[in-house]
Amino acid sequence: MHITIVGAGLGGLCLAQGLRRHGIAFDVYERDAALASRTQGYRIRIDHRGQQALKACLPEDLFALFKATGAMPVEGVNVVDTGLDAVTGRWVASWRRASNEGAGNVEEDDLSVNRQTLREILLCGIEDHVHFGKAFVRYRECEDGRVAAGFADGSSAVSDVLVAADGINSQVRRRRLPGATPADTGFACLYGKTCPTPAALARISGVLRDRTSIVFGDGLAVIIDPMRFRPQPTGYRLGKCEDYLYWAIVGARESLGIGWEGGDTLCQDELAARIERVTADWHIGLRALFQLGDRASLAMLPVRTADVPPAWPTNAVTVLGDAIHAMSPAGGLGANAALHDACLLARQLGEAAAGHRSLRAAIGSYETAMREHSSHAILASRRGTEILLGYGGRPHARPERILAG
Ligand SMILES: Cc1cc2nc3c(=O)[nH]c(=O)nc-3n(C[C@H](O)[C@H](O)[C@H](O)COP(=O)(O)OP(=O)(O)OC[C@H]3O[C@@H](n4cnc5c(N)ncnc54)[C@H](O)[C@@H]3O)c2cc1C
């Protein structure tokens, strides 16, 4: 059995590691030229389910490396307004508090990790099977039931199963499930990081430096997480990762001064100007966090969300992660759902490889389980967005037309 995975993001690489554990041959094809050639986000919170998926897919030493490279736990959560006064009664069920407050729980506490470091760990040991600079463009089902994937450079790869792990703009999904395009919510996420130099720490409010903070503004919210790392374990090829203060502002495009057209192409200076405007009357110690932000780290993403995935007839092309169930970052569940998918699919393909069930039945079981758990995650993320952004109804509609999937 041979599996083709399109996309070397968190889901695709985790699946590849899981397949390796099950002794199944695979190749991963990634559009980017290298793992670090593009900013893909900074801090990512891995919850109990995400950690269990990584434990099942990674060899023991790499799982230990994942744990060791996570940020040190913080001491709690501030829930405040933009004047840094306490706010009560707004909490998203899927957010778990920092480790000290979760004592006695059977579930592991969330671990905040640097996304790039996690991808580097996921790449360890499978480098020869991950091919960069390979943009998927099309696939064709062969008469023998196998699938041929075609890439922009004219090359192709034939395998028993093709897995779409190519994220929210998935080209594979576009062909496999053309009706499943995620809808634009009208919200956007502006994110970046600030280096905690002594000069910066002297200006940034003390309450933001040691705890996770959720700041509620008018139609927007900010998540701030201090990322402090232990010395990096030696013996692995991991990039250097300095401490940083991570922050993400989520809100309606209008509140952030981002139009519907061209918002994705705003340069970092333009993004910084918008943040300056939005935060103009915020607490001085909170504003400083953004004013001292690393300009090169600034990024903006429109928030899009999939609908609960409908059932479809199984074939040799399947989907995982954001490619099928993109969701608002407000719930902090998207990557965890992608890792869980990877674990479920690796297990099912392992059953098929061992001759316990047919390949089609294995993919079908995976898809049923994936639809079930991702539906809950999509709905939880929507509820999270409602609480975070203080709106009670439907997502904002794009003027004149609604971008529904
Ligand atoms: C600011 C922000 C913060 C977030 N925080 C969290 C969090 O704390 N916890 C959480 O669980 N989730 C979080 N998320 C969501 C999370 O990032 C995604 O759900 C997760 O990355 C999905 O993983 P994936 O593997 O499906 O897709 P991706 O990680 O997007 O990977 C897709 C890969 O496919 C590649 N690709 C795309 N097209 C092609 C092509 N045509 N051919 C070949 N390769 C292709 C891409 O280059 C990419 O490497 C956050 C999202 C954002 C934006």
39 CB within 6 A, ligand 1: no
Q: Is the dihedral of CA 140, 141, 144, 147 positive or negative?
A: positive
In tens, the pLDDT along 258-271 reads 876 656 678 888 89
pLDDT of residue 389: 77
Q: Has residue 160 been placed in a domain?
A: yes
- Domain shared by 166 and 269, yes or no: no
373-387 core/surface letters (b: 16 or more CB in 10 A; e: else): bbeebbebbbebbbb
Tens of pLDDT, residues 42-57: 999 999 999 999 999 9
Query: Are 312 and 299 part of one and the same domain?
Result: no
Residues 136 and 64 in one domain: yes
Helix (H, G, I), strand (E, B) or coil at 1: coil
Nearest-atom number in ligand 1 for the CA of 323 is 26
Q: 66 and 159 share a domain? A: yes
Does one domain contain both 247 and 318? no
Q: In this predicted model, what pLDDT tens digit does every residue of 10-47 receive, in sequence order?
A: 999 999 999 999 999 999 999 999 998 777 779 999 99
Q: Establish if 14 belongs to a structural domain.
A: yes
How much is the pTM? 0.93
336 Cα–ligand 1 center, Å: 11
Q: Is the CB of 189 under 6 A from ligand 1?
A: yes
The model's confidence at residue 85, banded by pLDDT at 50, 70 and 90, is very high
> Is 12 near ligand 1, meaning CB less than 6 Å away?
yes
pLDDT class of 397 with cuts at 50, 70, 90: very low
Q: CATH code at 23?
A: 3.50.50.60
Summarize pLDDT for 206-221 with one digit per residue, the tens.
Answer: 999 999 999 999 889 9
- The reply to whether 65 falls in a domain is yes
Task: Judge if 321 and 372 occupy the same domain.
Answer: yes
Length of the chain in residues, anyone?
405
Residue 10, domain member (yes or no): yes
Indicate if 128 and 218 belong to the same structural domain.
no
The verdict on 60 and 123 lying in the same domain is: yes
Residue 56 structural domain? 2-72+110-182+306-389
Mutate which of 13, 14, 30 for ligand 1? The one with the most ligand atoms within 8 Å of its CB, which is: 30
Q: Give the integer Cα–Cα distance in Å for 245 and 215.
A: 14
Residue 85 token pair: 């006064």
Q: How many domains does the chain have?
A: 2
CATH code of the domain covering residue 199: 3.30.9.30
Look at 132-136, 151-155, 232-236 and tell me which has the smallest mean pLDDT.
Answer: 232-236
Q: Are residues 260 and 323 in the same domain?
A: no
Assess whether 147 and 26 both reside in one domain: yes
Nearest CA to ligand 1 atom 35: 7
Ligand 1 neighbour 395 (Cβ under 6 A) = no
Q: Which pLDDT score, from 0 to 100, does residue 94 have?
A: 57
Greatest alpha-carbon span in the chain? 67
Does 51 lie in the same domain as 146? yes
- pLDDT for res 75: 81
Claim to verify: residue 225 and residue 287 sit in the same structural domain: yes
Last residue of a domain, one of 303, 329, 363: 303
Mean pLDDT of 104-124: 87
